[in-house]
Structure formats: C-alpha cells, structure tokens
Amino acid sequence: MDIKQLRSTIDDLFSKRTSWLSLLQEIAENFYPERADFTLRRQLGDEFASNLMTSYPVLCRRDLGDQIGAMLRQTAKPGFHIAPVDSDREDNDAKRWLEYAETTQRRAMYAPVTQFSRAMKEGDHDFAAFGQAVLSIRLNRHHNALLYRCFHLRDVVWMENEDGAICLIARKWKPYSRNLYRIFGDKNHPSVKNLAETKPFDEMECYHVVVETDM
C-alpha cells in the first residue's frame, strides 16, 4: 500500500461515519455539552448547553466519569503490578527488581509533565458518555518523559484486520507550523520551515497515521 492508497483508505473511513457522528453529537448535547462539536465548530465565546431544560443528564455523566477514575486509579495505592510471564522465574531477586520497576513506572506515569491525570480524566468522561475513548502514550518532544493525550473521537478513525485487532489508526491533526517544525525539523516539506519562520501560528492540516508493518 503506497501513500496515495493509504490516504484514500483513510478518507473513505472518515466519510463512512457521518451518521455515527450525528448520533455522538446528539448524545453530547444532552450529556456532555463540552464535547458537543462533532458536526459543528464552536467559536470562543459561543454558548453551549443552552438547549438543556435540566442539568440532570450532565450531572449523571459527570458522576459516572468521576467514579471510573476513583475506582481504577486510586492515588493511595498502586493500580497495577508488574509480574513475569513465567511465574517459575519469580524468585526473591526477581520480586525485588519487579518492585523497583513498578515504583519507577508509577513515578514516571504520574510526573506532572506527562499530563497523565488530565488525559485519563478526559478519557473517563468520553467513556462515560460515548462508551469509548482515544488515548495515546508516547515520549514527549524532548524524549525525556512520557506524554499522555486524549483525543476527540471526531478526529480519529481506525480499522481492524482479519484477527479483529486494530491495524490502522488515523487522526486529523492541525498543529501550528512552528510546532510541526519543532517536532520533525528538516524532515518536513521545505514550505513548512518557511511558514514556521514567517507565519508560525498558521494551522497545518495533517494526518497522524499508525499502521501495521505489512501495510
């Protein structure tokens, strides 16, 4: 699959979900007004939730989303444990190393620079309202810390392979030209460098795509 075929496949995936976005827009307008921009774009200062006669649906979604985080990510105790695949290898030295690795992993996840708490909170409320959330974890721009992000369902499509596993994920992305150049440097098209110098806050329309190797 070349880049043109990949682009055509992604455009087709986005076009097929128009009616689904209308459903999500309806759900958001009643339960999650802050996310009710699936089929329209709001400007800063626009009113939202003015269509609601009561705040009860919004409060129900908020309480459910808060409970998900409270149950799964309690700050007072670890929410996960690291264990070897082969339990026979879990001797005393291995347990000591696993405990050290677990503490290191938790510290790396909850460092403020990772934005872990923010991304997970947004994901909790997306899951409470729409039954799914799009989360990513990667290294930050400086490659010295993890970075967690929660993306709008409106901007993401995905595809399953013959085994039912996700084989393609594509996200519509509009970074500023300066940010795009700061991330990819000279790997960008030369015009991006010129824009980063002359119009650093112009938005660039991009696709962020992850596919399986054989694609």
pLDDT at residue 214, rounded to an integer: 86
Distance between first and last Cα of the chain: 6
Q: What is the mean pLDDT of residues 35-49?
A: 82
Entry pTM: 0.85
Tell me the C-alpha to C-alpha distance, in Å, between residue 118 and each of 147, 160, 164, 188: 11, 28, 30, 30
Q: Are 155 and 173 spatial neighbours (Cβ–Cβ below 8 Å)?
A: yes
- Please return the burial class of 73, using the count of CB atoms within 10 Å of its CB with bins 0-12, 13-18 and 19+: middle
Q: Percent of the chain having pLDDT more than 70?
A: 100
Nearest one of 83, 88, 122 to 105, comparing CA atoms: 83
**pLDDT computed for residue 41 by the predictor:** 83
Confidence band of 16 (pLDDT split at 50, 70, 90): very high
Task: Say whether pLDDT at 45 is over 80.
Answer: no
Phi, psi of 39 (to 5 degrees): -115, 5
Bridge partners (DSSP) of residue 203 are 176
Q: Give residue 212's pLDDT.
A: 92
